[in-house]
Chains A and B, each alone.
Chain A
Amino acid sequence: MSRPRCIALAGFDSKWGPSLHERLLGWESGPRVLRLDSVPPGEAGENEELLPIDWRDPDSDRELIDAFTKNSVDVLVHRGSPGFPTPREEADPEFESGRIRTLLKAAEQSGLRRLVLGSSTLLYGALPDNPNFLTESHPLRGHPHARWMEARIEAEQCVHDFAQEHPETEVTVLRSGWSLGPRTRTPISRFFSQASVPTCLGYDPLLQFIHEEDLLSVYEKAIGESHPGTFNIVARGVLPLSTLLALAGKKRWPLPAVMLERWPGSWPWGKAPDAPSTFYDFLRYLWVAAGEAGWSEFGEPGYTSREAWISFVSAERMNDYRR
């Protein structure tokens, strides 16, 4: 398949959407970008069209099919819900299920050539019986009390079913780890930006990241080239949480797990933005993903986990200095 001419982006926030669009603009073919969002994200950029969609509207699929057909959309990229529960509507399981079904219906009707789903390694779940490295074949177990994860697992399952039923459409699922970098502003980066980071007393799990630039490169390749399949997108290397915080010169506030589970954010020093009780299991048990398949498919990432972390911490320090 030649380079796509029209790409539809759904579920991209105001930082990620423009960053990816900027990269796509660098292509010689100069593809058009159709941004699908429930809230119009500012003004349309070069070669870009904004299409506000009310995902809860039962007629939204018709609207979407019309848009896909009219614009001859080749590739649909759905970033999925944020890799972290937030008060935003994307975290609502009903919303996510409705959105993925609408998108898949539109993809089916418009004869889409390629579908890229942005998923997360969080969906493997942080569980005490996880091996040190979770491969793509490992079941997605999520968290028993996290409905937002259930919705994302269900969405991924829908996409796998779609791939089986529609072999004419190339389907790529990118399960990325926590992305960090100088520009990233996510609940995760906000959590680690705190001067004092609450941790689970007695636990020091190994963590991994992916640099934002590496993740963007992978998305770019997945959009422009043929890479069907499911891949973990993570950087090389893992670091214990204690080392990460020591590298950043941050204080740890180790609190008993039971306290964090029952009253997250109720402590003045533990006021982690949006951190729900289900989040702290990810700072307790292993959920490191094996990245070999992704590295061989999309190439070596430019940054290791340590480098991604240092890049993020350096940017944080620079921001503090500017303030």
Chain B
Amino acid sequence: MASASPDLSHLEPADLESLRQALEDLRMEIRTFRPEKLPTPPRFEPPDWPALFERLRGYVGHLGMDERSLPDDDFGLDLQFLARLEPMLDFLQTHYWRVRVEGLEQIPLSAPCVFVANRSGLIPYDGLMLAHVLSGVGDAESRVRFLVSDSVANQPFLQGWLARVGAVRACRENAERLLDSGFSIITFPEGDGGASKSFRDRYTLVRFSRDAAVLTALERQVPLVPVGLVGAEETHPLLARVPPPQSLGGLPFLPVTPTFPLFGALGALPLPARWVIRFGQAWSSGELEVEGDDEVALMRVHAEIRERVQALVRAAVKTRGPAWR
């Protein structure tokens, strides 16, 4: 688009001359312009990659250290990690599973004791929740440890995590060391048999096998506290058991639940069933009159403990009512 020439007829000849001069000066300035007079643009400097990598590596290397305890626990318990987990466990206890705790006042606080509970589900939520409930009773340093069976203790991805939250592999040596160190223990004498109960038999306890913690408690005259735990069965209702593939060595079975394997890894999340944890009367092993390795007497003691836990489970089922409301 051509622009129209400005009308300069109204200007005085002197003004016109000065305008012409100004235009001429501008033209000269443009002609004599030297680009090097412009401020030099900043040059692109490649970053110091090795230093950057080192910084990043240091940062990544220390990730997760914030949540690790400085005092080293012999069994791998990490109190700092647990403290960070506390809000989640509180949420599960109060809002998600709405755990009702009964008979807590019967627990002997003066000395370590062995809590004998019923077992359900492949993932040991029951042990974790029971330990969490009991954590409010004693001091944090002597947090109650829960025993887990071999099939769970050495599962990849669970092994390290379980140790950090206070789980210990169930065996005689560990039970002895824990009790000798003054820790109370939660044990599940049903073992894998309890975890593999079908949904129909969820409130019926299987036979108690020779339990490492119970035997140690009998030997060391440590009080036994029966615990009936109801609700964990419904967090993962076991519909069927599938033999595990060879690569998942150690797992006793592969569970089929309403959510697993249908939703993959998400199926491991527990359902929001209502829980009741009922503590029974503690009794001293001295009352049981077991001598040495008297097999019959030991079987009788295990049967007696089983009966007590079974009675607590029945009572807890009645107290709780429907699982899902």
* B72 with A239: CB separation less than 8 A: yes
CB distance from A250 to the nearest CB of B (A): 6
Contact A247 B65 (CB under 8 A): yes
Q: Annotate B57-94 by CB proximity to A: 1 below 8 A, 0 otherwise.
A: 11011111100100011111000000000000000000
Contacts of B201 in A (CB 8 A): none
Min CB gap A62→B, angstroms: 46
Flag if B72 contacts A251 (CB, 8 Å): no
Contact stretch, chosen from A108-116, A128-136, A174-182: A128-136
Q: Are A131 and B171 in contact (CB under 8 A)?
A: yes
Q: Please tell me if the beta carbons of A204 and B171 are within 8 angstroms of each other in the complex.
A: no
B61 in contact with A251 (CB, 8 Å): yes
Q: How far is the CB of B112 from chain A (nearest CB, A)?
A: 17
Distance in angstroms between the alpha carbons of A204 and B162 in the assembled complex: 10
A251 pairs with B57, CB closer than 8 A: yes
In contact, A206 and B76 (Cβ under 8 angstroms)? yes
Task: Judge whether B65 and A128 touch: CB under 8 Å.
Answer: no
A120: chain B residues within 8 A (beta carbon): none
Query: With A131-B174, A132-B177, A240-B76 given, is the CB distance from A203 to B62 under 8 Å?
Result: no
B160, CB-defined interface residue at 8 Å: yes
Bound Cα distance A258, B62 (Å): 28
For the complex, is A42 an interface residue (Cβ under 8 Å from B)? no
Write 24 A-B pairs (CB below 8 A) sorted by A numbering. A129-B171, A132-B74, A132-B168, A132-B173, A133-B173, A200-B156, A202-B156, A202-B157, A202-B159, A203-B159, A204-B159, A206-B163, A238-B76, A242-B160, A243-B65, A243-B68, A245-B61, A246-B62, A248-B61, A249-B57, A285-B154, A286-B169, A304-B72, A306-B72
User: Which residues on the A side are within 8 Å of B247 (C-beta)?
Assistant: 258
B64, B73, B163: residue with the most chain A Cβ atoms closer than 10 Å = B163
CB-CB under 8 A from A188, the residues of chain B are: none
Q: Could you tell me the distance between the alpha carbons of A305 and B73 in the complex, rounded to whole angstroms?
A: 12
Please give, as numbers and ranges, the residues of chain A lying within 8 Å of B258 by CB-CB distance: none
Minimum distance in angstroms from B61 CB to a CB of chain A: 4
User: Which residues of the other chain, B, contact A251 by a CB distance below 8 angstroms?
Assistant: 57, 60-61
* Contact assessment for B177 and A128 in the assembled complex, using a CB-CB cutoff below 8 Å: no
Closest B residue to A305 by beta carbon equals: B72
Q: How far is the CA of A203 from the CA of B163 in the complex (A)?
A: 11
Q: How far is the CB of A136 from chain B (nearest CB, A)?
A: 13
B72 touches A128 (CB 8 A): no
Q: Does A17 contact B (CB under 8 A)?
A: no
Question: A88–B68 Cα gap in the complex (Å)?
Answer: 39
Fill in one digit per residue for A130-168: 1 if any B CB lies within 8 Å of its CB, else 0. 011101000000000000000000000000000000000
Within 8 A of A (CB), among B34-75: 57-58, 60-65, 68, 72-75
CA gap between A239 and B157 in the complex, in Å = 17
Q: Is the CB of B156 within 8 A of A238?
A: no
Interface residues of A in 200-236 (CB under 8 A from B): 200-206
Bitwise interface map of B from 77 to 115 toward A, beta carbon under 8 Å scored 1, else 0: 000000000000000000000000000000000000000
Inter-subunit contact A250/B61 (CB<8 Å): yes
Nearest opposing residue in chain B for A202, CB measure: B156
Give the shortest distance, in Å, between A210 (CB) and chain B (any CB).
15
B286 touches A (CB below 8 Å): no
Q: Which residues of A contact B (CB under 8 A)?
A: 128-129, 131-133, 135, 195, 200-206, 237-240, 242-243, 245-251, 257-258, 285-286, 290, 304-306
Q: Please give 15 more A-B residue pairs, beta carbons under 8 A apart, in addition to A133-B174, A205-B160, A246-B64.
A: A131-B169, A132-B177, A202-B155, A203-B160, A206-B75, A206-B163, A245-B61, A248-B61, A249-B57, A250-B61, A251-B57, A251-B61, A285-B154, A286-B169, A306-B72
Docked complex: B94-146 residues within 8 A CB-CB of A? none
Report if B250 contacts A (CB, 8 A): yes
Main secondary structure of the interface of A (DSSP, over half): loop
B154, chain A: closest CB distance, angstroms: 4
Residues of B within 8 A of A246 (CB): 61-65, 68
Known: A202-B159, A239-B72. A133 touches B177 (CB 8 A): yes
Chain A: minimal CB distance from B213 (Å): 13
Chain A residues within 8 Å of B61, by CB? 245-246, 248-251
Given A203-B160, A246-B63, A251-B57: A237 and B169 interface contact (C-beta under 8 Å): no
Flag if B168 contacts A242 (CB, 8 Å).
no
A150 to chain B, nearest CB (A): 23
Please name all residues of chain B whose beta carbon is closer than 8 Å to the beta carbon of A203 when the two chains form the complex. 156, 159-160
- When distances are taken between beta carbons in the complex, the residues of chain A under 8 Å from B157 are 202
Contact with A along B168-184 (1 / 0, CB 8 A): 11011110010000000
State which of B74, B153, B154, B160 has its C-beta within 8 Å of the C-beta of A133: B74
Residues of B contacting A128 in the complex (Cβ-Cβ under 8 angstroms): 150, 153-154, 250
Nearest residue (CB) in A for B70 is: A306
Inter-chain contacts of A245 with B (CB < 8 A)? 61
**What A residues does B75 contact at CB under 8 A?**
132, 206
Complex Cα–Cα for A128 and B170 (A): 12
Question: Which residue of A is nearest B151, CB measured?
Answer: A128
Q: B47 CB to closest chain A CB, in angstroms?
A: 20
State the CA gap A143–B276 with chains docked (Å).
Answer: 45
**Most chain A CB inside 10 Å of its own CB: which residue of B61, B157, B168, B171:** B61
Cα distance A305–B169 in the bound complex, in angstroms: 22
Chain A's nearest CB lies how many Å from the CB of B36?
45
A249 touches B72 (CB 8 A): no
Complex Cα gap A35–B159 (Å)? 45
| Leading 8 A-B pairs by shortest Cβ distance | A202-B156, A204-B160, A131-B173, A249-B61, A237-B72, A128-B154, A202-B157, A246-B65
